[in-house]
């Protein structure tokens, strides 16, 4: 993007998430989208690295013939099989597609932080795989071998593709809706739904005092993902405000249909990879849980809830009770004013 020589200062009112009229993506100030700056600060306050977590007890339990059942061993591997793809797909989408079209420098700041966090998450899975001595080929290639993972990933990547095209530009009604659709799929479905039955399984381990080092890392990841989801929701709502013409009844119906498809893919994944259930969570529980969180995502972008399922896994709300947590909650208390923002999006 060329730099124009001028003493005319940037007008904050022209700043937009996409299609910013001044299109100055270099100057952080004046900040218009404060939620992005707040998310960036919260992300920094929550910084962590997987290697801070001891895997010693996990290694002992994994080696022991008696601690973990065969179903539990398989569950850990399948969950890792999905996780190893989820954060890589998210990172590619942020760096190669979303970033280029975002014209708010403060949103770009957070996207850089988010991209780094996705890398930390992939590092975490690598650290678990390496510590436990798992077969890397089995775990990292699983998404190309197991239908239930493949189907989820193909769904997401299919929507990303149009945006990845170097010829793609925002600025028309069609391309702006296409971009908004990509945000909805990436943030609400990938970050906000597709991780959650796997999160529930990891906290199942934790509740039984099994694989605590692995589960603790997943807790940190869930906290980060929850922030990614919140940021995505804020961006979507800001675009709705800045370009209300995009949010047509037809597009709203389309969004609901997409989320419903995501829900089916997610509970099908849970039912296929945990056919006998796991840690007391059965097929019906997973379905209700996924429907419950999908309703919450829909409400956050102003759409009608579709399911009305009560949360069958209320203990998921406690899973986030982390030792490093205090700082984070304090940050959110002061920086997020909206009701419900303190709740993690389970
Ligand atoms: Fe993420």
* Ligand 1 centre distance from Cα of residue 114 (Å): 7
- 69 within some domain: yes
In a domain, 256, yes or no: yes
Q: State which residues form the domain around 80.
A: 56-341
Number of domains forming the structure of the chain: 1
Distance from the CA of 80 to the center of ligand 1, in angstroms?
15
104 belongs to a structural domain = yes
pTM for this prediction: 0.90
Tokens of 259: 């989320």
Over range 58-81, report the average pLDDT.
95
User: Over the chain, what is the mean pLDDT?
Assistant: 89
Task: Please report the sign of the dihedral spanned by the C-alpha atoms of residue 107, residue 152, residue 189, residue 192.
Answer: negative
% of residues, the chain, pLDDT over 70: 91
φ, ψ of residue 278 in degrees (nearest 5): -155, 135
User: Is pLDDT of 166 > 90?
Assistant: no
Give catalytic residue positions.
Answer: 127
Report whether 86 contacts 265 (CB < 8 A).
Answer: no
Residue 10 alpha carbon to ligand 1 centre in Å = 31
| Residue 27 included in any domain | no
Q: How far is the CA of 7 from the centre of ligand 1 (A)?
A: 39
- Whether residue 49 is contained in a domain is answered as no
pLDDT tens digits for range 180-205? 999 999 999 999 999 999 999 999 99
Distance 233 CA to ligand 1 centre (A): 13
- What would the pLDDT profile of 35-67 be if each residue is shown by its tens digit? 999 999 999 999 999 999 999 999 999 999 999
Q: Which residues of 89-123 are buried (b: 16+ CB within 10 A; e: fewer)?
A: bbbbbbeebbbbbbbbbbbbbbbebbbebbebbbe
Q: Which two tokens stand for residue 289?
A: 């849980």
- What CATH number should be reported for the domain holding residue 213? 1.10.620.20
Q: Where are the beta strands (DSSP E) in 205-346?
A: none
- Higher-pLDDT residue of 165 and 300 is 300
Residues 168-184 have pLDDT tens digits of: 999 999 999 999 999 99
Decide which of 301 and 163 is more confident.
Answer: 301
Supply the pLDDT for residue 317. Answer: 72
d(CA 254, CA 249): 9
């Amino acid at each position: 993007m060329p730099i124009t020589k001028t003493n005319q200062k940037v007008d904050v009112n022209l700043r937009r998430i996409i299609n910013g009229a001044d299109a100055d993506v270099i100057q952080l100030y004046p900040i218009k989208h404060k939620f992005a700056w707040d998310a960036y600060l919260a992300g920094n306050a929550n910084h962590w690295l997987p290697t801070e977590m001891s895997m010693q007890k996990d290694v002992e339990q994994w080696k022991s013939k008696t601690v973990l059942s065969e179903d539990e061993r398989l569950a850990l591997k399948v969950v890792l099989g999905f996780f190893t793809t989820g954060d890589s797909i998210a990172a590619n989408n942020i760096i190669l597609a979303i970033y280029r079209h975002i014209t708010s420098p403060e949103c770009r700041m957070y996207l850089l932080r988010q991209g780094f966090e996705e890398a930390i998450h992939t590092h975490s899975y690598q650290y678990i795989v390496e510590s436990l001595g798992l077969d890397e080929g089995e775990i990292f290639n699983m998404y190309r071998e197991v239908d239930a993972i493949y189907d989820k990933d193909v769904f997401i990547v299919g929507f990303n593709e149009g945006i990845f095209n170097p010829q793609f530009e925002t600025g028309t009604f069609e391309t702006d809706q296409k971009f908004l659709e990509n945000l909805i799929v990436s943030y609400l479905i990938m970050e906000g739904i597709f991780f959650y039955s796997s999160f529930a399984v990891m906290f199942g381990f934790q509740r039984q005092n099994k694989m605590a080092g692995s589960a603790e890392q997943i807790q940190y990841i869930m906290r980060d993902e929850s922030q990614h989801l919140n940021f995505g929701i804020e961006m979507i709502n800001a675009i709705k405000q800045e370009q209300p013409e995009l949010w047509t009844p037809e597009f709203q119906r389309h969004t609901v249909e997409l989320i419903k498809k995501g829900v089916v893919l997610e509970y099908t994944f849970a039912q296929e990879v945990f056919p006998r259930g796991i840690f007391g969570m059965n097929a019906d529980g997973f379905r209700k849980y996924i429907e419950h969180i999908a309703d919450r995502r829909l409400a956050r972008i102003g759409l009608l809830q579709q399911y009305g399922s009560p949360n069958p896994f209320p203990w998921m709300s406690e899973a986030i009770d982390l030792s490093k947590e205090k700082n984070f909650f304090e940050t959110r208390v002061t920086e997020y004013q909206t009701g419900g923002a303190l709740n993690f999006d389970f």
